[in-house]
Amino acid sequence: MSNLFSVISPLHSALNYHLERSSVLASNVAHVDTPGFKPKDLERVSFNDSFTAALRVTNERHMGGAPTSLENGRVFTDLSAGGGKDGNFVSLDREAAKVAANQMRYDVISAVASAELRGLAFAASDGRGG
């Protein structure tokens, strides 16, 4: 028998990633006027990527340190917008576009997850709809 919940785990992971990214992007917007601030972003990593990153050390006999990552992603500095006169690299337009795109992806994944859960609830009730 196949695992009925196998589709929910990747959706849960995707929702967590977009929630974490939302926090990182909100921090960038909050620092739009902070001199010298360099915005961060979150890139998605698989379990194997984050595990490998944690094990990269300078000496093979040392234990791996904690990578700079959250549950579903790795934080990196995004200097692509260029710096202003005060050394701040935050572009409010760019960050607003990232926030909007991230929110749209979160909403779509949330709708898919809800539909999957409704389908599972329907199946669990033997198709009686309640």
For residue 25, the one-letter residue type is L
Domain spans in the chain, listed from the N-terminal domain onward: 8-124
Pairwise CA distance, residues 14 & 113, whole Å: 10
Query: The tokens 């309640």 sit on which residue?
Result: 130
pLDDT tens readout for residues 5-23? 788 889 999 999 999 999 9
H-type helices in 1-130, by residue range? 8-30, 47-55, 92-124
CB 79 within 8 A of CB 38: yes
| Strand 40-44 relative to strand 73-77, pairing | antiparallel
Provide φ and ψ at 93, rounded to 5°.
-60, -45
pLDDT tens readout for residues 89-128? 999 999 999 999 999 999 999 999 999 999 888 888 887 7
